[in-house]
C-alpha cells in the first residue's frame, strides 16, 4: 500500500480503475491511496454494521458517503 500526491487535486496517473463518474469530481484531494491484493469478500458487510473511526454508533442503513471515510474493522471493537 502506498499513496501518490495529487496534481491540483486530481489523480496524476492514468485512471485505470477509477470509474468514469469521478471525472467530474471537485478536485479537492491531497493524496490518492494505492492499494494492492484486494479480495472480494465472501459475504458482504451491510453499511449499517460499519462504524466510522472514533464514532460511537454505526452508520445508518441508508448512509451514503460524500467522500473518503475511515471505518473501524467490525471485528475489532474495544
Label residue 56 by pLDDT band (50, 70, 90). Answer: very high
| Strand 2-5 with 31-34, pairing | antiparallel
- Over residues 30-53, mean pLDDT: 86
Separation CA 13–CA 32 (nearest Å)? 10
**Cβ-proximal residues to 29 (8 Å cutoff; 6+ apart), any chain:** 6, 9, 10, 11, 68
Compute the residue count for the chain. Answer: 78
Label residue 57 by pLDDT band (50, 70, 90). Answer: very high
Q: Are 43 and 63 in contact (CB under 8 A)?
A: no
**Cβ-proximal residues to 23 (8 Å cutoff; 6+ apart), any chain:** none
Percent of the chain with pLDDT over 90: 13
pLDDT tens for residues 62-74? 998 887 788 887 6
* DSSP type of residue 47: G
Amino acid at each position: 500500500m502506498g499513496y501518490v500526491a495529487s496534481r491540483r487535486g486530481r489523480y496524476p496517473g492514468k485512471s485505470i480503475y477509477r470509474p468514469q463518474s469521478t471525472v467530474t469530481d471537485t478536485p479537492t484531494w491531497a493524496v490518492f491511496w494505492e492499494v494492492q491484493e484486494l479480495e472480494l469478500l465472501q459475504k458482504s458487510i451491510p453499511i449499517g454494521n460499519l462504524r466510522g473511526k472514533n464514532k460511537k454508533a454505526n452508520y445508518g442503513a441508508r448512509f451514503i458517503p460524500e467522500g473518503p471515510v475511515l471505518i473501524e474493522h467490525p471485528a475489532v471493537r474495544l
